[in-house]
Structure 1
Amino acid sequence: MPTSASPSLRERKKVETWTAIHEAAASLAQERGLDQATVEAIAESAGVSPRTFFNYFPAKEDAVLGLHEPVLEPGEAAKLTGADDFLGQVTLVLVAVARSALRGTDRARRRQLLERYPHLFARQMEYMAKAEALVCDAVADVLAADPSWSSGAEGFSPGETARMLVMLAAVPAKFKAKSKDFDPAAGLTPENLAPAVALFHHLQRKLS
């Protein structure tokens, strides 16, 4: 029994430490300014050593925003069937992977910090690029396994086709995120994305 419980306890401790460091970093950036939110100050506020800080975050900017390495869960990858509305599938999976990089953070506070320190946006976009790369690889695998795609579309490889498809799939998400009724605290969900995906399909039919 103790052996099976041990990993769970370690995982909880990791989550608690990650949260303590992120909360300390975000709070210091808000209260004292980003320049004053040094790794040493963050570590002291979180009750950890600077060495422990770097076990969880590669830089203070990542800690301030609460960024994780994005993850494509097997359950999400399984949603990429290549069947009807493949673009919609890719959009939802892309959003899920992007959200995995931002999990466990206060979205409203992160948005305030990004508005106050616009250069942090570049750091966040690096993680979004990692999310896109994960989805690109998964989509390429689906296309490579489908005879109608594996030979190449218009002379492009499955990998190149996947990259184009992921770029297109990001359009409905970006459209919704910039709409007036978008709630950053709620984030992007399959439900609030559906109208944007439907509009994208409508435009595809009209333009093709």
Structure 2
Amino acid sequence: MNEMNQGARAARRNQHWMKIHEAAVLLVLEKGLAATTVDSIAAEAEVSRRSFFNYFPTKEDAVLGTRAPWLPEADWEEFVSSKLEVLPRTAKLLAAVLNTSTQAGEGFRRRREMVRAFPELRRRTHVHVQAAEQLVADALIERLKPHQAALLAHELPHDPGAQHALVLLAGTITRYAFTEDPEEFANDWQSAVVRASAMFSSLLDPPVR
């Protein structure tokens, strides 16, 4: 019974989230970003201003359909146990974290269209990217248990500066995978990230001729 109640609450929350998002997109397309306010979005969605901020921290997030990123435990465990080399492994982890801030599939497409129509929204997407990179960087430093660190000792750099560089490079790979083929990224981001990682690895470590 408790699981059923939790499922019903989650479904209602997703419904309210989508209603606010749809209202924000409708108003911005009709009036423009500057003329659209949190109050007007809340009124269109038939929710209170307080309820709006329970779902979105800014009107830009409501328009983009984005939320603060977080690190899923399943993706962290996959990172630790993965057989991939450390660069594609980190890029996949970062992409997974980034995906928590937005809807996959159609959500990617709509967000791309809104950013294209209103370039000023790009600043808000950068905030989420930086937050995701920080989450991954912190995890590499703080969350690896001794036995996990031992497993990755031959791959993961110990120097914090090098770990930061690894995360930044993973971010570059993820952005390349998205910009190279946004449709493929929306449909199968894991494969897109792995392929992009292979390209970057070949550039960073070219074969000897």
TM-score, scaled relative to structure 1: 0.84
Counterparts of 1:1-80 in structure 2, within 5 Å, are 1=1, 3-80=2-79
Match of 1:175 in 2: 176
Mark the runs of 5 or more structure 2 residues left unpaired by the alignment: none
Mark the runs of 5 or more structure 1 residues left unpaired by the alignment: none
Shift of 1:78: 0.8
Partner Cα separation in structure 2 for residue 33 and residue 111 of structure 1: 16
Distance 1:185 1:164, change over 3 A: closer
Q: Contact 1:65/1:110 (CA < 8 Å) preserved in 2?
A: yes
Distance 1:148 1:7, change over 3 A: closer
Partner Cα separation in structure 1 for residue 114 and residue 25 of structure 2: 8
Partner Cα separation in structure 2 for residue 163 and residue 22 of structure 1: 34
Instruction: State the Cα deviation string for residues 9-60 of structure 1 (Å, max 9, x = none).
Output: 1111111111100110011111221123211211111111111111111211
Partner Cα separation in structure 2 for residue 20 and residue 37 of structure 1: 16
Match of 1:189 in 2: 189
Match of 1:142 in 2: 144
Counterparts of 1:76-95 in structure 2, within 5 Å, are 76-81=75-80, 84-95=84-95
Instruction: State the Cα deviation string for residues 163-190 of structure 1 (Å, max 9, x = none).
Output: 11111112322222232x4427725612
Distance 1:109 1:185, change over 3 A: farther
Partner Cα separation in structure 2 for residue 61 and residue 205 of structure 1: 40
Match of 1:114 in 2: 115
Residue identity in the other structure for 1:130? A
TM-score, scaled relative to structure 2: 0.84
Residue identity in the other structure for 1:142? L
Q: Contact 1:107/1:184 (CA < 8 Å) preserved in 2?
A: no
Match of 1:97 in 2: 97
Where in structure 1 do 4 or more consecutive aligned residues deviate above 4 Å? none
Partner Cα separation in structure 2 for residue 182 and residue 8 of structure 1: 32
The structure whose RCO (Cα within 8 Å, separation 6+) is larger is 2
Partner Cα separation in structure 1 for residue 10 and residue 24 of structure 2: 21
Shift of 1:96: 0.9
Instruction: Give secondary structure in 1 for the equivalent of 2:173.
Output: helix
**Cα RMSD (Å) of the superposition?**
2.8
Could you tell which deviates more after superposition, 20-29 or 138-147? 138-147
Residue identity in the other structure for 2:125? Q
Percentage of identical aligned residues: 31
Q: Which has the higher helix share?
A: 2
Q: Contact 2:92/2:194 (CA < 8 Å) preserved in 1?
A: no
